[in-house]
């Protein structure tokens, strides 16, 4: 029963903008589920529906058998969210923030205080516990928001782009926190950072223009795509012929060849014989994302062109 399930989940804003189009998925509601997609792909809409903040236009969704629309009150007993662009309240301290959040969830003052202190300690925020939030760095403020939900009893936590705007070191610190949170909770995370999803996700969902493009573990999604290998060549190097694959030239002149295993090794051999510098690796999540989300858009553009002529 520990499943996140959506069936033909659709959301149309104001009867016009279609944010989600019949999204159907089924995934374990344990560990970390990372949802990636471009801006406007529908990530936040999906999170807000699952977190009972927003009603879907049609379709259904449930977490651990609890319907997000029909049993929203029951689900709210178990969930917590840090929305996109959430900020710590400037005139409060981290300790006051966590305490108030827990009291809002119905904890008595003494229990809330104990949990707040424990949570701040767990995330190594105890030294800032009595500092005003406005004086904290961006990364620390984000950690405070995480400490608030970590302190609660919620076993399903939604984090909408929690690391956007953080520097690389703070982001990696935050990943540790997410791994800590995921030990005894289900984390539903949205992110722009493909590396983040690759590092953290037990299950990965890819949204493109309101539709679910792929779902599964990172290795399983990698196995499903057309090209599994990436060869990179420096600028101004003769590019070998590619019969099954794609050649992408970057702005700096660097060339990337996406291809299958047989061709990748054949090309590697020929490049080695020619003494050309190159690197070969399994495709990254960036490449997967490009193949899954980028291609349909290109195809749509190509399909649209003849009609225009």
Partner 1 sequence: MKRSYSSQLMAAILVNSVYEMKNYPINLVNTVLSPLSFLIVITFVSKGTLIGQAIEGGLIMSMFQSGTALQGDISHLKNDFKLQDMLVSSPASPSVYVLGMAISELIYVAPALLVLVVLGQIYIHPSALQALEMAAALLLMFVTSITIGFMFATLSSDIVQSFAWSRLLTTIFTTVTPVYYPLTYIPLPFRYLAYLSPTTYAAEIMQNVVGYLQESASVVITDWAVLGGVTAVLLVVVSRKARWKET
152 binds partner 1 per the rule CB under 8 A: yes
Q: Could you tell me the smallest distance in angstroms from the CB atom of residue 154 to partner 1?
A: 8
Calculate the alpha carbon distances from 95 to 112, 116, 137, 144 in Å.
10, 6, 16, 9
Q: Could you tell me the smallest distance in angstroms from the CB atom of residue 167 to partner 1?
A: 22
CA–CA gap between residue 293 and residue 42 (Å, rounded)? 13
Tell which positions 172-191 bind partner 1, by CB under 8 A: none
Nearer to partner 1, 75 or 264 (CB): 75
150 binds partner 1 per the rule CB under 8 A: no
196 sits in which H/E element:
helix 194-200
Contacts for 218 with CB less than 8 Å, ≥ 6 apart: 197, 198, 201, 204, 285
Taking residues 78 to 117 in sequence order and writing x for each that binds partner 1 by CB under 8 A, - otherwise, the string is: -xxxxxxxxxxx-xxx--x--xxx-xxxxxxx--x-----
Applying CB under 8 A, among 51, 116, 255, 292 the residue interacting with partner 1 is 51
CA–CA gap between residue 309 and residue 180 (Å, rounded)? 56
Asked if 126 and 90 count as a contact pair (C-beta separation under 8 A), the reply is: no
Contacts for 293 with CB less than 8 Å, ≥ 6 apart: 37, 38, 41, 206, 208, 213
How many residues bind partner 1 (CB under 8 A)? The answer is: 40
66 binds partner 1 per the rule CB under 8 A: no
First to last CA, the chain: 53
64 binds partner 1 per the rule CB under 8 A: no
Segment near partner 1 (CB under 8 A); pick from 20-28, 50-58, 204-212, 230-238: 50-58
Nearer to partner 1, 125 or 214 (CB): 125
DSSP assigned state of 50: H
Asked if 283 and 230 count as a contact pair (C-beta separation under 8 A), the reply is: yes
Applying CB under 8 A, among 153, 167, 286, 300 the residue interacting with partner 1 is 153
Nearer to partner 1, 86 or 225 (CB): 86
Nearer to partner 1, 69 or 239 (CB): 69
At 88 the three-state DSSP class reads coil
Binding interface with partner 1 (CB under 8 A): 48, 51-55, 73, 76-77, 79-89, 91-93, 96, 99-101, 103-109, 112, 132, 152-154, 158
């Amino acid at each position: 029963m520990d499943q996140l399930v959506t069936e033909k989940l659709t959301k149309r804003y104001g009867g016009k903008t279609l944010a989600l189009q019949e999204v159907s998925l089924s995934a374990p509601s344990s560990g970390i589920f990372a949802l990636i997609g471009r801006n406007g792909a529908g990530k936040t809409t999906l999170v807000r529906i699952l977190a009972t903040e927003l009603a879907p236009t049609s379709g259904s969704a449930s977490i651990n058998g609890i319907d997000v629309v029909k049993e929203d009150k029951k689900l709210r007993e178990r969930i917590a969210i840090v929305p996109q662009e959430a900020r710590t309240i400037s005139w409060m301290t981290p300790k006051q923030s966590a305490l108030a959040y827990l009291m809002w969830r119905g904890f008595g003052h003494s229990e809330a205080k104990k949990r707040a202190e424990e949570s701040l300690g767990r995330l190594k925020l105890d030294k800032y516990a009595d500092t005003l939030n406005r004086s904290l760095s961006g990364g620390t403020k984000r950690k405070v928001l995480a400490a608030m939900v970590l302190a609660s009893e919620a076993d399903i936590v939604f984090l909408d782009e929690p690391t956007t705007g953080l520097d690389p070191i703070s982001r990696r610190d935050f990943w540790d926190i997410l791994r800590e949170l995921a030990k005894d909770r289900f984390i539903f995370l949205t992110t722009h950072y493909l590396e983040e999803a690759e590092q953290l996700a037990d299950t990965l969902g890819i949204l493109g223009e309101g539709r679910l493009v792929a779902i599964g573990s990172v290795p399983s999604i990698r196995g499903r795509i057309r090209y599994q290998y990436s060869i990179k060549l420096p600028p101004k190097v003769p590019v070998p012929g590619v019969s099954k694959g794609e050649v992408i030239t970057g702005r700096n002149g660097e060339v990337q060849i996406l291809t299958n295993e047989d061709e990748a090794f054949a090309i590697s051999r020929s490049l080695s014989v020619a003494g050309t510098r190159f690197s070969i690796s399994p495709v990254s999540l960036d490449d997967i994302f490009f193949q899954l989300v980028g291609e349909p858009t290109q195809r749509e553009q190509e399909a649209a062109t003849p009609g225009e002529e």
